[in-house]
Amino acid sequence: MQRINYPQPKEWDEILKRPTQTVSDIEAIVYSIFKEVEADGDTVIKKYTTQFDKVTLDSLVVSESEIEQASNSVSDALKQAINLAKSNIEKFHAAQKTSKVAVETLPGVECWQEKRPIQKVGLYIPGGTAPLFSTILMLAIPAKLAGCKEIVLCSPPDKNGEINSAILYAAQICGVTQIFKVGGIQAIAGMTFGTESIPKVYKIFGPGNQYVTVAKQLATKYNVAIDMPAGPSELLVAADDTANPAFVASDLLSQAEHGVDSQVILVSTSEKLIEAIGTEIENQIQQLPRKDIARKSIGNSRLILVKDDKEAMALINEYGPEHFIVCVENENFYLENIQNAGSVFIGNYTPESAGDYASGTNHTLPTNGYAKQYSGVNLDSFMKSMTFQKISEKGIKGIGTAIELMAEAEGLQAHKNAVTLRLKSLK
C-alpha cells in the first residue's frame, strides 16, 4: 500500500482518486447488446450466454427440480448460517416500516402519505469466483417485506449450465418468484425490456462488474430505475493506537480480495500503528486464496498519516467511503461528525464482514463517493411514497382564493378556473 504522510488538503483529490476505468468503450458495447435484446429477446440472450459464459442453454428458466436439488446439496451448517443471517436482516428491515403520515393543513384540507410496494423488481446476483448468495438476502428480504409481487433474479450460469446451489437455496427461502440463468449486460437488458422468458421489471438492484454497472445506468434511459450508481468495493478505516493492528489489516484485506479494482484506505494519527498494520497485511495476504487479486487491489490503496482527529474527519468526509470502520479512542467525535459514509462499523470487534453477512444491516451501499448523496439499500428502496388529499366544501373555501391568485400570477387560467367554478357553486 502506498504510504502518504501529512498530505495537504489541496492534495486530497489526487490521493483519494478511485481506480475507476473509463466507460466510453464499454458504453458502445452495452448499447449494442441492449438494442439486440430489445429486438430479439431470448435468442440474443442465449447467444451471448454461449459467448460469455461458455454454455448453450435450451431454457433460461431455473426449474423447481433444479431448486430442490440445489437446496438438498447445501450443507446443514451453511443453511443454519444463512437462516441466522436471514433472521437478523428481517428484524432490522422490518423495523424500518412506517405508518401513514396524516395532517389536516387547514380545516377541511386533509393530506396524507402512504407507501406502496414497487410491483416488479429485478435482482442481479454475480456468479463466477465469488457467487454472492448473501446479496440475495440483502435484496430479496426487504423486497418481500415491502410487498413486491414479482421478485425476478438473474445470475450467470457456470459451464455446466447451473447456478450456484447456495444462490438457489437463498432465493428459495427469501421469496424470489422467478430465477433465470443469465448474467452480464444481457441480464440487465432482459429485465429492462422483457423477453419471451424474462419479465420486464420496474427497478433493478444488485452489484456487478463494470459492464453490469454501465448496463444498469443505461437501463435508466428506458424508464427502469436502479438502486444506485455503483463502482468497485471500498473500505476506509480510521484507527489509532487503541486499534488492534491484526484486526485492521484483516478488514482491509477483506475488501481488497473483492476485485482488482477495489480500494482500501487507512487513516491514522499514529505512525507506529501504520507500520504495524503494513507488516500485518504482508503476513496475512500470504495465506489468502485470492491473494493475487488482493495484491492488485492493495496497489490502489493508501496508508495515510494525519496530524489529528479533526483533519482525519475532514479527509474521510471528502472521500465518502462505502464502508467506514472506526477504531479510535475518541469514538464519539467520529460518530458525531461523519457525514458521508454508506455504513459505519464501530470498535475492534465490529468487522465489516458482519455487515456483509449477518448483523442485519444491508450491504448494498453507495460507492465511488456517492455516499455524499445516496443511501444504501433499505426497505424504502422497494417502495414508493404516494400522497393523497381530500378537500371538503369548508376546505376549498379556505384555500381557494390563494390558489386562484397564485394560478393567475403564473398565467395558468385553467388552473384558476378549476377553483373558481367550485367556489361559485358554493355561493
- Quote the pLDDT of residue 208: 87
61: β partners: 180
pLDDT of residue 21: 62
- At residue 310, the pLDDT reads 98
Q: Are residues 328 and 265 in the same domain?
A: yes
Residues 259 and 167 reside in one and the same domain: no
Is the predicted pLDDT of residue 25 greater than 90, yes or no? no
CB proximity list for 180: less than 8 A, separation 6 or greater: 60, 61, 62, 152, 153, 154, 155, 187, 190, 197, 198
Verify that 278 and 339 share a domain, yes or no.
yes
pLDDT for 259 equals: 86
Using the 3D structure, point to which of 226, 252, 277 is the last residue of a domain.
226
Residue 350 within a domain: yes
Give per-residue pLDDT as tens, 330-387.
999 999 999 999 999 999 999 999 999 999 999 999 999 999 999 999 999 999 999 9
Residue 352 lies in a domain: yes
- Domain CATH for 408: 1.20.5.1300
357 annotated as belonging to a binding site for a ligand: no
Q: Determine if residue 323 is labeled as part of a ligand binding site.
A: yes
Q: How would residue 121 be classed by pLDDT, with cut points 50, 70 and 90? A: very high
Residue 382 lies inside a defined structural domain of this protein: no
356 has binding-site annotation: yes
Same-domain pairing of 315 and 189: no
Print the SS3 string covering 3-69.
EEECCCHHHHHHHCCCCCCCCHHHHHHHHHHHHHHHHHHHHHHHHHHHHHHCCCCCCCECCHHHHHH
Structural domain range at position 413:
392-425
Q: Please give the Cα distance from 268 to 309 (Å, whole number).
A: 8
Active-site position among 93, 323, 352, 363? 323
255 is in an annotated binding site: yes
What is the per-residue pLDDT for 199? 98
Instruction: Tell which wins on pLDDT, 255 or 24.
Output: 255
Q: 191 and 84, same structural domain?
A: yes
Residue 45 is assigned to a structural domain of this protein: yes
**Pairing of the two strands 101-106 and 109-117:** antiparallel
Tell me whether residue 209 is annotated as binding.
Answer: yes
Q: What is the pLDDT of residue 22?
A: 61
| pLDDT class of 229 with cuts at 50, 70, 90 | confident
Return the CA Rg of the chain: 25
Final residue of a structural domain among 198, 226, 254: 226
In this structure, the answer to whether residues 328 and 411 fall within a common structural domain is no
At 124 the pLDDT is: 97
323 flagged as catalytic: yes
**384 within domain boundaries:** no
Q: Contact, 57 vs 157, CB < 8 A?
A: yes
Q: Give me the amino acid identity at 177.
A: T
Identify whether the C-beta of residue 343 lies closer than 8 Å to the C-beta of residue 365: yes
Integer CA distances (angstroms), 206 to 136, 172, 198, 240, 256, in order: 9, 17, 17, 34, 19
Residue range 36-65: average pLDDT? Answer: 97
Q: Residue 319's Cα: distance from chain center in Å?
A: 18
pLDDT more than 70, % of the chain: 100
Supply the pLDDT for residue 24. 76
**How would you label 211-235 residue by residue, b for 16+ Cβ within 10 Å and e otherwise?**
bbbbbbbbbeeeebbbbbbbbbbbb
Average the pLDDT over 236-240 and give the result.
Answer: 98
Residues 218 and 261 placed together within one structural domain of the fold: no
As a whole number of angstroms, the distance between CA 316 and CA 352 comes to 17
108 is a domain residue: no
Would 160 be classed as within a structural domain? yes
| Alpha carbon distance 216, 331 (integer Å) | 37
Q: What average pLDDT does the segment 124-149 reach?
A: 93
What pLDDT, on the 0 to 100 scale, is given for residue 77?
98
Residues 235 and 218 in one domain: no
Residue 124 marked in a binding site? yes
Q: Are residues 347 and 396 in the same domain?
A: no
* Alpha carbon distances (Å) from 386 to 116, 151, 389: 7, 21, 10
- Do 265 and 294 reside in the same domain of the chain? yes
309 is in an annotated binding site: no
Query: What pLDDT, on the 0 to 100 scale, is given for residue 128?
Result: 72
Cell (9 digits) for 270: 499514529
Stretch 230-245: mean pLDDT: 94
**b/e map 360-389, b = 16+ CB within 10 Å:** ebbbbbbbbbbbeebebbbbbbbbeeeeee
pLDDT at 183 over 80: yes
200, 226, 252 - which closes a domain: 226
166 and 71 co-located in one domain: yes
Query: Residue 340 corresponds to which amino acid?
Result: N
> Which CATH number do you get for residue 256?
3.40.50.1980
Residue 330 belongs to some domain of the structure: yes
Residues 360 and 403 in one domain: no
User: Given 322, 336, 404, 408, which residue is catalytic?
Assistant: 322
Q: Are 220 and 226 in contact (CB under 8 A)?
A: yes
Is 363 considered catalytic here? Answer: no
Structurally, the chain folds into a number of domains equal to 3
pLDDT in the model for residue 231: 79
